[in-house]
Structure 1
C-alpha cells in the first residue's frame, strides 16, 4: 500500500561489496545491446559548469520494455581535494515508471568508475588488435587505474604498461597496483611512449592534447576517457580525421566527447560492433579510436543489478517513503 512504501538506500560500502567485474561487464554489455536495438532510450544530456568551479550533469534514460527508469546526477568538483574528499561525485536514482515513485538511491561514484572501466574493456576487446602487448596510459587517477585493470582483464596479451603523468614524475603508489601483473614503468617522453605502444588510454581531466599526432603508429587503438564536457579534449587537432572512429552514443559524443572537435567525421557506435563482431574487419594499418562519453543506460543496468542483489541479500537501509 502507498502508506507502507519504502525507499532503499545503498551507500558506498554496500555498492563496493556488490561490484564484481564480470557482473559489471555483463550489465554494461547489456546496456550497449539495448542501445543498439533502440530498446533503451538515452535522454538529452545536462552538463553545465557552476560558479563554484564544479561541473554538474544529469544522465537519464529508460528501457520501457523492462520497466527500467532512472538518472544519475553527477559531476566534478576539484575543490573537494582541499577538503580531503573525492572530486567526482555521483548519485543514481531508480524510479518506478508506472508511478514515478523512487525505488532506490545509490552512491554512484564506484558505479561510474566500474562501468566506465568495463566499457573501456569492451572497447578494447572489440576494436584493438588481439595481440596487442604494449599499453601507454595517460593519467594515474581512479579512472586511469580502473581502465588498466579492465584492460589487463580483457586483453591477456598485455605485458607492459608505460604511464605518463602531468607532473612528469613517477607514481609509486599507482605502480604498486600492477607490479605483479605486468611490467610497469613511468615514461618521461609522451610521444616516445605513444610511438612504442599498441594501445593508448587517455584518462585525464581533458585539458588539452596529450601527444603529437605523428607519434601514433599504424595499427594502434586508443580509448579516450577524459573528454566528457564541452571544451575538453585529449587528442591532437586534426587527428580524428585520419582514424576509424567509434563512439558509445553518436549524438552525445558530438556534443561533449572528443568527437566534438571533428563533428563531420563518420563514426560507428560500439553497440553495433558488439552486436555483430564478425563485421569488424580490422586492417593491419588501421588506427582506431573509441570515444567514451558514458551512457545513462550503463548506469541504469548496473544500478538495477545492484538493486536486485541488495534486495535479495537484504543489504542497504530501507526508510519509510509513504505517498
Structure 2
C-alpha cells in the first residue's frame, strides 16, 4: 500500500495555479451551501504571543475527501525572521481513516484566500471593473492580485497602499508586468474611483470609513481573523449588502465580529452566504449603486478541496514525491 505522501511548498507550487484554485473554491462554496460538506467550527488555541487554529472538514460527493489544517498566527515572528502565518494540512481517506498526505498549507492558504476573493468579486461586483485597490501589502497581496486579474480581465488600473509605503512601491515594481499598478501613499487617493477594494490589514481600528467608499463598490474584507479586529467602519457594514463565507466564523472572528458584538449587526441583516449566491438560492447584488461586502474568514472546505486536487495531481506522478509509512 502507498504510504503517506509528503508534499513541500516547492512541490505544491508546481501542481496548482490560481485559475484552478478559483474553480475549486467556487465548487466548495456551492457544495457547502447544498449541504454536501461537513465543517465543524474552527478551534482556537491561544498562546501568549499567538495562536494555532484547527480546521477540519469533510467534502462528500465526487470529492469524497476529509482532513484538517492546522495554522498558526504569530505576529511577532517577523521580528525573528520567521513566518508569521504557517499551515500544515493532513488529508484523511473518509472511507478508512488512512492519512493520505501531509502537506505544507502556507502557500495553499494564500492561494485559496485569494481564490475566494476572486470568486466573490465574480458574483458580487458590478460587471464592469476597471480599477481595483488593494489595502495592506503583506503575504496575501500577491494571490489577491492574481485572483482579481483573473476575475476581471478588463482591469486597467491596480492601486496599492500600505502604511509602509516602501512595501507598496516594492510590490508595484515586482508586478508591473502583470498590470498597470501604482503605489499610493494616501489611502483615499488609492481607493478613489475603484470598483473593487480588497483589505488585507490586521487592524483593530477601521481603515475605511463610509465617507471614503463610493456607490457601487464591492469590498473583499480579508484582514479580520480574530475577535476585536475590524477594517471597515461599522456604518459600512450596516448600510451595505453583507455576504459571508460562514456566519458562525464571521460573527466570531470576521469583519462583522465587532458590529455583532456591539449589537449593530445581526444574522437577520445578512444578505446571504457566498455559497448561497453561487448555488442560486439567494440573490447577490440588487443594483449597480449598492455597496457589497464579502467577509472572508477562510473555510476548511477551501483547504480540503485544493489540497485534494494537489494530492491527486501528485499521485499521478507516483515515485516523484516522498512518502512515509507512519506505522513502521
**Aligned partner of 1:182 among 179, 184, 190:** 179
Please, which runs of 5 or more residues in structure 2 have no aligned partner?
261-265
Q: CA RMSD in A?
A: 1.9
Q: TM-score, normalised by structure 2?
A: 0.91
Superposed, 1:279-298 pairs within 5 Å as 279-298=283-302
Structure 2 residue aligned with 1:61: 57
**Aligned 1:1-323 pairs, distance under 5 A:** 6-51=3-48, 53-65=49-61, 66-169=63-166, 171-263=168-260, 264=266, 265-276=269-280, 279-314=283-318, 315-322=320-327
Matches of 1:22 and 1:169, distance apart in 2: 29
Structure 1 172/188 Cα, relative in aligned 2: closer, same or farther at 3 Å? closer
Unpaired stretches in structure 1, ≥5 consecutive residues: none
Q: What is the deviation of 1:191?
A: 2.6
For normalisation by structure 1, the TM-score amounts to: 0.92
**Counterparts in 2 of 1:148 and 1:277: CA distance versus 1, 3 Å:** farther
C-alpha contact 1:11 1:316 (8 A) present in aligned 2: no
Instruction: Give the Å deviation of 1:254.
Output: 1.0
- Displacement after TM superposition at 1:287 (Å): 0.2
1:9 and 1:105 in contact (8 A); partners too: yes
